[in-house]
Structure 1
Amino acid sequence: MKSRGRQRQQTTPILIAGSAVLLIILLLITFISSSPEEKVVKEFYEYEQKQEFWNSYELFHPHMKKRFSRSKYIDQRAHIFVDHFDVDTYDLTIGSSKKIKEWQMSDDHQPLSNVYQIPVTKTYQSQFGKFSILQNVYAVKEEGEWHIMWDYHY
């Protein structure tokens, strides 16, 4: 009976180590399997979560930069999401990307090709209670760089 107990004791660390290795492999596969358009959206919102709005602004497409000056964007994002909601950060869920053959940011812009739509949900726990904001974000590759755009058809 002693040998069985010893055998169980020896296999337990092996099982734990094997499980840890499997978990690391699954996490790496998930990270590596993210598409480039999903990665830029994730990067954008990681900056936003850390309130590094100057960094997230740099990921905007030139059309977005025409819509917002850098200082206006930084001031308004901080004012609305940090000051009014009284939150430091939020939970983030990024959905799967969907390729769109042709898309335009607003009626004032020319259609762009090779655009990806990615749903993003931000969940806040604020002074107003818990709530979520769902927004479709658009990733566009131009001149070798991925950029973020939002929809302005209203």
Structure 2
Amino acid sequence: MKGLMRLLKRRRSKTGNRVIVIIIGTGLIFIFFYIVFSLLINAERDARKIVSEFYHYESNGNYGESWELLHTEMQIRFDRGTYVQDRAHVFNGHFGTDTFTYEVSEGKKTKEWRMIKDGETFKTVYEFKVQQDFKGKYGHFMFVQYVFVGKEEGEWRILWDYNK
């Protein structure tokens, strides 16, 4: 009888250990997927935030600050002074508007993207469609621009597509 009781206790403890292992394993799997999912969602959210910040500066005519958010590849194309002067000339001068509103779409993740045909390959970028709404001396008009955001030294930066 004592031997049977010991055998039953061992079986209960083995079954109890299995349940504990299954619960802990399930919890660890859940935590792993939560962390991975959070990182992916945060990356798109952070990239979108840079696009919104960029167009916030642009809509307020603060082109020097928006230039700072451009990727180095973009800054090489436009030195700061030329960029500020061109943007002010086009938007404020030609269009006759001091500001505009804008809408940023949801991001679309793209891998192995290039700004120009033979340029640097970006491992991952997010593409956003930005709609700019102007009301100026020539009436009400909208522009749509596709904006790409890639990482440079751990920071998200603005890129434009120059592939033809």
Report the TM-score when normalising by structure 1: 0.76
Does residue 141 of structure 2 align to residue 131 of structure 1?
yes
Does residue 91 of structure 2 align to residue 81 of structure 1?
yes
Does residue 102 of structure 2 align to residue 92 of structure 1?
yes
Does residue 80 of structure 2 align to residue 46 of structure 1?
no
Can you give the 5+ residue segments of structure 2 that lack an aligned partner in the other structure? 1-41
Could you say which structure has the larger radius of gyration?
2
Structure 1: distance between partners of 2:90 and 2:139: 16
Structure 2: distance between partners of 1:110 and 1:60: 15
**Number of aligned positions between the proteins:** 123
Report the TM-score when normalising by structure 2: 0.72
Does residue 51 of structure 2 align to residue 72 of structure 1?
no
Can you give the 5+ residue segments of structure 1 that lack an aligned partner in the other structure? 1-31
Question: Which shifted more, 102-111 or 84-93?
Answer: 102-111
- The runs of 4+ residues in structure 1 deviating greater than 3 Å are none
Aligned-pair distance for 1:120?
A: 0.2
Aligned-pair distance for 1:108?
A: 3.5
RMSD: 1.6
Residues 38-69 of structure 1, C-alpha deviations (whole Å, 9 max, x = no match)? 00000001011111101000000010011001
- Which protein has the bigger helix share? 2
Percent of paired sites with the same residue: 39
Equivalent residue for 1:102, pick from 94, 102, 112: 112
- After TM superposition, the structure 1 = structure 2 runs for residues 4-23 of structure 1, keeping only pairs within 5 Å, are none
Specify the code of the residue in structure 2 equivalent to 1:143: E
Question: Which shifted more, 107-116 or 86-95?
Answer: 107-116
SS of the residue aligned with 1:107?
Answer: coil
Equivalent residue for 2:47, pick from 33, 37, 62: 37
Partner of 2:5: none
SS of the residue aligned with 1:35?
Answer: helix
Does residue 68 of structure 2 align to residue 58 of structure 1?
yes
